[in-house]
């Protein structure tokens, strides 16, 4: 069972470079999320999507962009990398937005901006 797959697992970027973090899920989930996890902190929501073609900002969206052209894929784009974006990024999905819905996570991408 693949679940939620993120690539790459690790990446080093130079300041000002751009990159796309890929996320795909094979569970036919409508809801997908991008979180970042800074050391000693919980996860913070960057963007989320409730279905193909629909995205919305979370708590910390600045410096990021997303798109959702298919149910399966939800890439996260960093346009001009900054040291403040050094973090571990998690993609997650859930079947619905119900309060009880369990979120399934990818294994994360450790990004370092130097």
Partner 1 sequence: AQTVTQSQPEMSVQEAETVTLSCTYDTSESDYYLFWYKQPPSRQMILVIRQEAYKQQNATENRFSVNFQKAAKSFSLKISDSQLGDAAMYFCAYNSNYQLIWGAGTKLIIKP
Rounded to the nearest 10 degrees, how much is the dihedral formed by the CA atoms of 80, 85, 87, 90?
-60
When binding is defined by CB under 8 A, the residue of 1, 14, 62, 102 that contacts partner 1 is 102
Asked if 52 touches partner 1 (CB under 8 A), the answer is: no
Contact criterion met (CB below 8 Å) for 85 and 23: no
The residue within the footprint of partner 1, chosen from 2, 14, 42, 62 (CB under 8 A), is 42
Cα torsion through 28, 75, 60, 81, rounded to 10: 160
Determine how many CB atoms are found less than 10 A away from the CB of residue 79.
12
- Least distance in Å: CB of 80 to partner 1? 25
Residue 91 contacts partner 1 per CB under 8 A: no
DSSP state letter for 62: T
- Using rule CB under 8 A, residue 41 touches partner 1: yes
Q: How many helices (H) and strands (E) does the chain have?
A: 0, 11
Residues 13-32 that bind partner 1 (CB under 8 A): 31
- Work out how close the CB of 8 gets to partner 1 at its nearest, in angstroms, rounded to a whole number: 13
Q: Check binding of 76 to partner 1 (CB under 8 A).
A: no
Binding site residues, partner 1, CB under 8 A = 31, 33, 40-45, 48, 50, 56, 58-59, 88, 90, 92, 97, 99-103, 105, 107-108
């Amino acid at each position: 069972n693949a679940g939620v797959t993120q690539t790459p697992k690790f990446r080093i970027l130079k300041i000002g470079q751009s990159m796309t973090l890929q996320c795909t899920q094979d569970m036919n989930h409508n809801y997908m999320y991008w979180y970042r996890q800074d050391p000693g902190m919980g996860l913070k929501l960057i963007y989320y999507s409730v279905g193909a073609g629909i995205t919305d900002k979370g708590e910390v969206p600045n410096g990021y962009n997303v798109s959702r052209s298919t149910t399966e894929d939800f890439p996260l784009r960093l346009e001009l990398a900054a040291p403040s974006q050094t973090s571990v990024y998690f993609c997650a999905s859930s079947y619905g937005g119900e309060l009880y819905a369990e979120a399934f996570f990818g294994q994360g991408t450790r990004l370092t901006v130097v």
